[in-house]
Amino acid sequence: MQGTYREIAGVRNLGGRGTLKDEAIAVVRRALMAGEMKPGLIYSANSLAPQLGVSNSPVREAMMELASKGLLEVVKNRGFRVVEVTDKDRQEIYDLRMLVEVPSVLQVARNGLTEDQIHEIERLADNTLAQARPDNMLEYLDADQSFHMAIIGALENERLTAIVENLRDQSRVRGSYHLAERGLLRESAEEHLPIVRALKAGDTELLEKLLIEHLDYARPH
């Protein structure tokens, strides 16, 4: 592995932005997205804690939470294994996103957005374009997640937000990297702009079409 998990995640001062558990979740999650934690391998809190610079307890709590979200699985008396996502798994996650995420965004369009919400979503869309470089993949994934979750967040439904965020994480564990490998990263970021325009206009028919095209990356390829 190149560098510590803190370096991978760009975390300089663990604990400075939230609880130790929250920071540990952020770092381990980003290591999963980057592919630095390999599917099938077993990791223990004891081995990761020194990389994070904190005690075992918050790291174990973080890994237990990520296991509850389907990103890790508990291996009794050994630690945690990175879940291997099969094509069948990816298809199931994609199908769920079509059933949950797309209708949720359409509901946002029907409800309408405030000027402040529109401004923030536009800012986040612009940021995905700024971050869309193959050598900047983790930052792009964070920017992309912030954009999409800001839209879902407009519904102010915490349970729905958590479900969509979890589905997106499951589909994005190494799943987004083929966009960079195929030279489609910037094209994917540019798709956010017409999505924002359709959202502002309340054009649900066009918005649905754009979302389905945009989420095509999540299908097994």
Domain-wise residue ranges, the chain: 5-82, 87-218
CATH assignment of 87-218, among 1.10.3720.10, 1.10.10.10, 1.20.120.530, 3.30.365.10: 1.20.120.530
- The predicted pLDDT at position 24 comes to 84
Task: Indicate the fold that domain 5-82 takes in CATH.
Answer: Arc Repressor Mutant, subunit A (1.10.10)
Q: List the one residue out of 203, 187, 189, 193 whose CA is nearest residue 121.
A: 193
Highest mean pLDDT out of 49-63, 108-122, 184-198, 207-221: 108-122
Place of tokens 């083929």: 178
- The predicted pLDDT at position 4 comes to 47
pLDDT tens digits, 65-84: 889 888 899 998 899 988 88
Residue 11 has pLDDT above 60, yes or no: no
* 125 vs 171, higher pLDDT: 125
pLDDT tens digits, 85-122: 888 988 999 999 999 999 999 999 999 999 999 999 99
Whether 5-82 and 87-218 share one fold: the answer is no
Residue 130 has pLDDT above 70, yes or no: yes
83 — phi, psi (to 5°)?
A: -65, 130
- The predicted pLDDT at position 179 comes to 62
- The predicted pLDDT at position 214 comes to 94
Q: List the one residue out of 49, 52, 50, 47 whose CA is nearest residue 78.
A: 47
* Crossing angle between the packed helical segments 192-201 and 204-214, to the nearest 10 degrees: 160
* 24 vs 127, higher pLDDT: 127
Residue 193 has pLDDT above 50, yes or no: yes
Q: What is the mean pLDDT of residues 15-27?
A: 72
pLDDT tens digits, 44-68: 888 888 876 778 888 899 899 889 8
- The predicted pLDDT at position 208 comes to 98
The rounded percent of the chain whose pLDDT value lies above 90 is: 45
pTM, to two decimals? 0.80
172 — phi, psi (to 5°)?
A: -100, -5
Sign of CA dihedral 19, 20, 26, 29: negative
Query: Which bin fits 174, alpha (ψ -120 to 50), beta or left (φ > 0)?
Result: left
Residue 2 has pLDDT above 50, yes or no: no
